[in-house]
Amino acid sequence: MIRNVAIVSLSSGIMGEEEIQYEVEIGFRRLREYGLNVKLMPHAMKGLEYVRNHPEKRAEDLLEAFRDPEIDMILCAIGGDDTYRLLPYLFDHNELAEAVTDKVFLGFSDSTVNHLMLHKVGLKTFYGQAFLSDICDLSPEMHPYTRRYFEELISTGNIQEITPSDTWYEERKSFSPEQVGTTTPSHPNKGFELLQGTPVFSGKILGGCIDSLYDFFNGDRYRDMPVLCRKYHLFPEAEDWKGRIILLESSEEKPKPERYRKALEYLKGSGVFDEVSGVLVGKPMDETYAEEYKQLLVELIDKPELSIVFNLNIGHAMPRCIMPFGVPAVVDVKRQIIRFAD
């Protein structure tokens, strides 16, 4: 059971900005109602500019959270776009490998990069929710589907299975204080959609936000990101993907089909799709470009026997489940369930 939670700002420092403290307080209250003790790591609340300018302090916070024997869970404040800058401070002298202990690590979006850092040092992690995005949601309470998985994680330290949400919610257009207590429009959800391949397959899951994975290979956003990712061998080699399942979900930037195509081309060029046993794809936010993405996945991967499952409630579209990385999983589309080994 989780008792003590450390909150880290490994990408954006927005949690420290004055104008969103009403959101932060919602999240603190909800965590306290679960009986959780919250520890803010020293630089988590320093604000956008400080956090942006001090990747070494972000790395210090992560290392300290792992070293603290009282911390059970490390919760990312939110995503962002430059957590790759922590790489030298975590790997130049084996800092992360020497500090890492068996704790729950939860985050998504740009935290994809952190998940692959932790995969590199052998830690199983959890993908799909974050403090500001989920615990601090402005709705009267956390979305029931989202809450169900968060409660399972903090009460057991694991996730046993994932099933589809009956409902999906539109993107919130405003995060002003006036929005507190309001919900966004909702729609019926279709469940897991098998685009091709067999409906039952298995493997350990790894992956994350396709926008972040695109930046592993393309330097349009940050010229040095592909350089550093190559230097530290952050993206797993093709053989490490053998028998795994890759998860891909798209961000709030709603990448245009041309960019989505390019991301898939990069992944294909890395050899991933020649090795994995299946592909899981998160629901795009507001279902934007859903049909185009489905077509591109089939066309670009170009392996009819490889199972591709679309429309998982994971990633940026609300509500969100939590997906264990590095745990044996069985995907059964006919039964609409993904089960994980204990």
Domains of the chain: 4-162 (3.40.50.10740), 190-340 (3.50.30.60)
Query: Rounded CA gap, 69 and 54, in Å?
Result: 25
The helix/strand/coil state of 299 is helix
**pLDDT for 89-136, tens place per residue?**
999 999 999 999 999 999 999 999 999 999 999 999 999 999 999 999
Place 218 in a pLDDT band, splitting at 50, 70 and 90.
very high
Place 251 in a pLDDT band, splitting at 50, 70 and 90.
very high
What are residue 141's phi and psi, to 5 degrees?
A: -150, 170
SS (H, E, C) 156-219: HCCCCEECCCCEEECCCCCCCHHHCCCCCCEEECCCCEEEECCCEEEEEEEEEEHHHHHHHHCC
Structure confidence at residue 122 (pLDDT): 97
The helix/strand/coil state of 282 is strand
Q: Which two tokens stand for residue 151?
A: 């409660």
* pLDDT (average), residues 34-60: 98
This prediction has a pTM of 0.98
* pLDDT (average), residues 177-204: 97
Mean pLDDT over each residue of the chain, to the nearest integer: 97
Name the percent of the chain lying above pLDDT 90: 99
Task: Provide, for the chain, the percentages of residues in helix, strand and coil under a 3-state DSSP scheme, each rounded to the nearest 5.
Answer: 40, 20, 40
**pLDDT for 161-176, tens place per residue?**
999 999 999 999 999 9
Place 38 in a pLDDT band, splitting at 50, 70 and 90.
very high
Q: Is the pLDDT of residue 342 over 80?
A: no
Q: Is the pLDDT of residue 18 over 80?
A: yes
Tokens 């507190």 sit at which residue? 180
* pLDDT (average), residues 249-277: 98
Place 317 in a pLDDT band, splitting at 50, 70 and 90.
very high
